[in-house]
Amino acid sequence: MRRVPVAVILFLSGLLLSCSSKVVRISSPKPKADEEKILFIAYEITRDSISGKIAANILYQRTADGSIKPGSAENAPFNAGNWTITAGNQKEPLETLIIENPLHQKLEYVGSDGALQMKEVWLPRAELAIRMNYTKAMRTIDIAEISNDKNNRIIFSHAIEPNDQ
């Protein structure tokens, strides 16, 4: 009687081994219809000390394979004085970031009484690096300052360079 269960186990294991050895997996790379990319742009932001006019210059613009995971990028609050960076096309915005004004910094220092104090400083120049998920439909980037009257002032607008697409 002991031989029957052992024979059954051997027979079933033989079937399992023979089935698994016949499975052939052919893996061919499947091209993605819309490859995921990240857009990196660095700006030099300057503010004229007399007129207060803000200008921006693109230092570099690159795309790289990958994607930014949802929730990994924190936006600043939608408050007056902060900036929106919107990538889109003529029809609609596709990606939007909200950042604090890079020219307006809050610095902490130790006061004469030994306590930490905060001081707001307006810088004449700052560098700003951004990253966002990229799609081929993106054509322009707009940087605007959020205002109280909801008429956000465009600071800088530029086309996304076609050689990086």
94-119 pLDDT, tens per residue?
A: 999 999 999 999 999 999 999 999 99
Q: Could you report the per-residue pLDDT of 108-153, keeping only the tens digit for each?
A: 999 999 999 999 999 999 999 999 999 888 999 999 999 988 788 8
Q: Is residue 16 part of a domain?
A: no
Q: Is residue 150 part of a domain?
A: yes
Contacts of 43 (CB under 8 A, 6+ apart): 56, 57, 58, 59, 127, 128, 129, 130, 143, 156
What DSSP designation does 123 have? -
Q: Is residue 74 part of a domain?
A: yes
> Which of the four pLDDT bands, split at 50, 70 and 90, describes residue 60?
very high
Q: Is residue 30 part of a domain?
A: no
Report which secondary-structure segment, H or E, holds 80: none
Q: Is residue 10 part of a domain?
A: no
For every residue of 15-43, DSSP letters joined together read: HHHHHHHT------PPPPSS--EEEEEEE
- In whole angstroms, how far apart are CA 88 and each of 51, 99, 105, 118? 30, 17, 28, 37
Q: Is residue 41 part of a domain?
A: yes
Q: How many domains does the chain have?
A: 1
Q: Is residue 15 part of a domain?
A: no
Q: Is the per-residue pLDDT at 84 higher than 60? A: yes
Instruction: Give the other-Cβ count within 10 Å of 101's Cβ.
Output: 20
Q: Is the dihedral of CA 30, 64, 39, 164 positive or negative?
A: negative
Nearest to 119 by CA among 129, 130, 109, 133: 109
Q: Is residue 113 part of a domain?
A: yes
Domain CATH code at residue 105: 2.60.40
The domain of 155 spans 37-164
